[in-house]
Amino acid sequence: MSQVMVYLDEETEQVMRKAAQRAGLPYSRWVAGLIRAAARETWPEDFLKLAGSLPDAPLAEDIRATDAPDLPRDPW
């Protein structure tokens, strides 16, 4: 198993320690979980199970086929 050194400011370290403790995980395992989630190349399994679960939801093609104007976007 490889090791990676990460430098954290004190506030971030405290946030990490508390979150890892709440999750009942060692710091390294908690951080590794975040990295895996952020680097995932596929959708999470729970999300994929939602596909087709709303039978009344319109299809993307049907929504795009309308002439309704798009809403203005937030500038941020």
- Sequential DSSP letters for 1-45: ---------HHHHHHHHHHHHHHT--HHHHHHHHHHHHH-SS--H
56-62 mean pLDDT = 85
Rounded-to-integer distance, Cα 47 and Cα 33, Å = 18
Q: Is the pLDDT of residue 66 over 90?
A: no
- pTM, entire model: 0.56
DSSP 8-state code for residue 73: P
Q: What pLDDT is stored for residue 75 in this prediction?
A: 86
CA distance 62 to 71: 17
